[in-house]
Amino acid sequence: MAKKDFIPNKLKPWVEVRKKYNLSHTQIQMARELGLNPKKFGSLGNTKEQQWKLPLTEFIEEIYFKRFKKRTPENVKSIEQMVKDKARKKVESKKHKELASSGDDATIT
Q: Rounded mean pLDDT of the chain? A: 89
Domain co-membership, 58 together with 33: yes
Q: Is 28 exposed, middle or buried (0-12, 13-18, 19+ CB in 10 A)?
A: buried
Q: How far apart are CA 73 and CA 33, in angstroms?
A: 9
Predicted pLDDT at 4: 66
Q: Are residues 21 and 62 in the same domain?
A: yes
- 18 domain residue, yes or no: yes
pLDDT at 103 over 80: no
Domain range enclosing 28: 9-74
pLDDT of residue 47: 85
Residue 29's pLDDT band (cuts 50, 70, 90): very high
Residue 68's pLDDT is 96
Q: What is the pTM assigned to this prediction?
A: 0.79
Check pLDDT > 90 for residue 62: yes
Q: Does any domain span residue 40?
A: yes
